[in-house]
Amino acid sequence: MTAIPVRAGPRPPVRPGAPAQPAHHAPPPRPRGELSEAALGALTGADPGEPLRLPSAREAAAVDPLGEDSQLTLYVLYELHYRGFPGVPASWEWHPDLLRLRGDLERGFEDALRERTAGGIDLAAELDALLVEPVHPQDPSVSHHLADTGVWWQLREYLAHRSVYHLKEADPHAWVIPRLTGQAKASLVAVEFDEFGGGRGERVHARLFADLLAAADLDDRYGGHLDAAPAVTLATVNLMSLTGLHRSLRGALVGHFAAAEITTAPSARRMVRALEHSGHGEPGFTRFYTEHIEADAVHEQVMRHEVIGALLAAEPELTADVVFGIQATGLLEERLAAHLVDAWTAGRVSLRVPLPDGPHAGTDA
């Protein structure tokens, strides 16, 4: 049996005014079109006290809502509510012109998701479908691909893609807390407590992922792979920010969170297998995924029985939103999986910018 560690001794000195690890936060990304050019130009060059000249609602609506330019712009505008970017004043967060542009892009994004999902209120059917494990999945599955035929450079690319979420793991879901009450709130906070390391900084899931990036010799800075992440990747995170930041979409956030927790444990098991096959089976590489096999077997139960159960007992009219959150998650994850598996099967780089030490380094992806 392991002894329970007792903490003692002086705390490390806190230097007042010391910058929060600036080296661990990557600079803002490069623009991918007119919208991101305008937004990033403002953040990095304009005065937050002045009104801005940003693309109009009509101009924003003319750009593909799931494309590179829209998704990067949304990601950058959402980032202002998380940790922002080095050198970008925090006061941009509530600039009305940026919020207006964000709202225009969010409308396009949400409409695109609703057009591509079936909707409905059959929550039991949605959950049941997620609770069955296909032995040989018909649709592309990243974890099956990596476990069966994956090679190290593909695994490293995968970590780079997922870093845009895992380095802020469970942060978007914290926004829903004040929008819940009673048991739904208590149980969701319990899951979040676990995501944030159960009170231990070194066990925060985002930290475990940063440790994995460092072990795999990848940039482990917050935002370090943002330029490399394509729109299909960014969209999976933008869905969480969208549903987390809007009280009207709290049901969808809860549906998304439950869907993610349900599907994680089996895929984390396959990720461990993939790491082992590629010769990286030591705990320094596998810890993030082994933790998720065990943790998400618990989180899944809590999300389904306690969070969704209590939320819908109190607000049954949110059922359609919970279903939407599950379906939108499935849609975006399937698009990402298809992108990754197609690229790798064809021997192509799946990132927008090849990893500096990966195959195809120094070429345009």
Partner 1 sequence: MRVRLDPGGPLMVEGPVEVELEDGTVVRSDRFQCAVCVCRRSRTYPWCDTSHRGRSHDGRRRGDEGGRER
Report if residue 296 touches Fe ion, rule: CB under 5 A.
yes
Nearer to Fe ion, 71 or 329 (CB): 329
Residue 121 binding: pick among partner 1, Fe ion, none (C-beta 5-8 Å cut-off by kind):
none
Contact positions with partner 1 (CB under 8 A) in 157-186: 158, 162, 165-166, 169-170, 173
Contact positions with partner 1 (CB under 8 A) in 265-294: 265-271, 288-290, 292-294
Token pair in block for residue 351: 């990132």
| Minimum distance from residue 159 beta carbon to partner 1 (Å) | 10
| Minimum distance from residue 305 beta carbon to Fe ion (Å) | 15
CB-CB neighbours of 56 under 10 Å: 12
Nearer to partner 1, 92 or 257 (CB): 257
Report if residue 162 touches Fe ion, rule: CB under 5 A.
no
Inter-CA distances, 230 with 75, 87, 157, Å: 11, 24, 12
Report if residue 326 touches partner 1, rule: CB under 8 A.
yes
One residue of 75, 153, 196, 257 binding partner 1 per CB under 8 A? 257
One residue of 106, 110, 195, 321 binding Fe ion per CB under 5 A? 195
Q: Read off φ and ψ for residue 161, nearest 5 degrees.
A: -55, -50
Report if residue 333 touches partner 1, rule: CB under 8 A.
yes
Binding mask 129-158 for partner 1 (x = CB under 8 A): xxxxxxxxxxx-xxxxxx-----------x
Report if residue 299 touches Fe ion, rule: CB under 5 A.
yes
Nearer to partner 1, 33 or 309 (CB): 309
Report if residue 205 touches Fe ion, rule: CB under 5 A.
yes
Instruction: With beta carbons less than 8 A apart as the criterion, state whether 43 and 88 touch.
Output: yes
Token pair in block for residue 77: 């505008």
C-alpha 55/C-alpha 39 separation (Å) is 9
Nearer to Fe ion, 103 or 284 (CB): 284
Handedness of CA 116, 365, 86, 60 (dihedral sign): negative
Name the nearest CA neighbour of 42 among 125, 102, 116.
102
Token pair in block for residue 285: 């590489």
Contact positions with partner 1 (CB under 8 A) in 227-256: 236
C-alpha 8/C-alpha 170 separation (Å) is 29
Q: Which residues of 127-150 are buried (b: 16+ CB within 10 A; e: fewer)?
A: beebeeeeeeeeebbbbbbbbeeb
